[in-house]
Amino acid sequence: MAYELKMPQLGLTMEEGTVSKWIKKEGDAIKVGDVILEITTDKLTNEVVSEVEGTLIQIVAQEGDDIPVKGTLAWIGQAGEKVGAAAPAPAVPFAPAPVAPVKSAADTSVIVIGGGPGGYVAAIRAAQLGAKVTLIEKQHLGGTCLNIGCIPTKCLLHSAELIEDIKNQGKEIGVEVSGLTVNFPQIIKHKNDISKKLTSGVAGLLKMNKVKKVDGIATFTGPKQLEVTKPDGSKEAMTADAIIIATGSVNAQPPIPGLKENPNCIDSTGALSLEKLPKSMVVVGAGVIGLELACAYAAFGTKITIVEAQATMLPMLDGDLTKIGVEHMKKMGMEFNLECPVQSIEPSAVGAKVVCKNKAGETVVFEGEKVLYALGRKANTASLNLEAGKLDNDRGRIIVNDRMETSVPGVYAIGDCVFGKAQLAHTASAMGEVAAENICGHDSVYVEKTNPTCVYIEPEAASVGLTEEQCKAQGIDYKVGKFPMAANGKALILNGGEGLVKIIAGKEYGEILGMHIIGPRATDLIAEGALAIGEEMTLDELINTIHSHPTVTETMREAALHAEKRAIHTSNK
């Protein structure tokens, strides 16, 4: 039986290769170990050798063809043997699916439910492609991100960073300040001003792209059938050629006894709206939201106590980054209590009392003027009536494919309300573009591997791709390059050199599998790692890219050098 010669996978991130040259031709005798052809990826040329003996009876992929990994290159068998009818038909070289013509405005109507970073981006992209777009928003344009999430939190953290820099670095760099005070109401006002500017900007963008905005709450009454309740109580039935659900997520309120009843227990929205700076705060949950707000309030002077049921914190980050971050937070005066699940919340003269069980099974109590519970978020789909819409979901999280399509043709879902994807603003925006493009006749898919995670603790951290822990769990052969911020001139200037860059690469080919950064500008720098993974770049390609000096970007090249045992500005051990 003929042997199918397939495109090999020459690295974990390789998706396709190009046939550059056939060494053998049809009819040639083949021995085990013979070089049959050469293939190229975007980074190197490789020889494909035979694992069987026989005759090259048919070449399927021609020189210059792009073939996916495991795609058919040729057939090897006995002289005169025909490739059987059951075998794949020879021939058509792999190529990306043809892009369908863009539909005109007259052809396509689109309703977007939700005006957050997923919804408004989807609406604008669909309008750019010619669709007639209506956006339904029940409260504020910009969603959680612009109003009560990413942007407001970063405003607080920017104020906190300035305070920390003045307190910890000011004297050393010759900026001595006496009587440093925290004007908390002004911090909140600045946060509100920034949010207002951005949400006003979104409204302007929608108007510029001729997106119609409808205020109201949308509910499914049937497949692709909506009823919108307006602010005045009136109702309107609506439908369209396509519907994009972009309702986001809301804070999850855990069923902790006494939590709901205590007005001093707040979620992240409450923490961004306080009128008075609390003297003490117990933060329940050591995830991204809890630790970001904890860093801000610790810098403002609030005594912070962290309570976490699990043994680890920030599991989405590489362990080396978490270790550095936790050490810094401890220097800020934050107290950590891990493996310490909350049992109940009780009234207290101070504000609230958090009753926990520690690792030893003992009852321990923590008091705070405020208790911030930050135990994740859940899909904001309760008001949609997914059952009436016949939309498959997992406890309210809508199930989609990589084109953002739901179980109902013509209905799409994006962002925090979907099942199994990262709950991040930039994730929602990327999904929004994918959904809009598919609706308007393009062939677009969402690819998670280039999606970075950013954590705005002090110092900030960012991660993309595989962590070292994930490589070990998956049995991947890898090598690691590290470079300390302490050896970088710009980082020394900015924060005294605290932090680290860590690169994970495939052991054999050096393809970038993951990049992890903690230190100054980490959340900006991570884009280079995402680009490297998306373009299947290798350590050599990072090394051969000249990085400007003096910048923090140099640390990424230095980490790549270290992975190849070529470090210049640090030890190669």
Q: Give the residue numbers annotated as catalytic, written as ranges.
A: 549
Cα 493 to Cα 401: distance, rounded to the nearest angstrom: 46
Asked whether 291 and 334 are in contact (CB, 8 A), the reply is: no
Task: Tell me the three state secondary structure of residue 366.
Answer: strand
Cα 550 to Cα 364: distance, rounded to the nearest angstrom: 49
Strand order in the sheet with 370-373: 265-266, 370-373, 280-284, 303-307, 335-337
User: Could you identify the residue written with the tokens 């009852």?
Assistant: 363
Q: How many Cβ atoms are within 10 Å of 158's Cβ, its own excluded? A: 16
| Sign of the dihedral defined by the CA atoms of residues 561, 563, 567, 570, in that order | positive
Q: What is the DSSP string of 395-433?
A: TTEEP--TT-B-SSTTEEE-GGGBSSS---HHHHHHHHH
Asked whether 177 and 166 are in contact (CB, 8 A), the reply is: yes
Asked whether 134 and 112 are in contact (CB, 8 A), the reply is: yes
Task: Name the residue type at position 563.
Answer: A
Asked whether 504 and 478 are in contact (CB, 8 A), the reply is: yes
The alpha carbons of the chain give a radius of gyration, in whole angstroms, of 28
- Whole-angstrom CA distances from 217 to 146, 230, 248, 259 are 19, 7, 14, 28
Strand order in the sheet with 225-229: 217-222, 225-229, 235-238
- Whole-angstrom CA distances from 54 to 3, 24, 28, 90, 454 are 9, 12, 9, 19, 54
Sorted by sequence, the CB contacts under 8 Å of residue 225 that are 6+ apart come out as 237, 239, 389
User: Could you identify the residue written with the tokens 């610790």?
Assistant: 298
End-to-end CA distance of the chain: 52
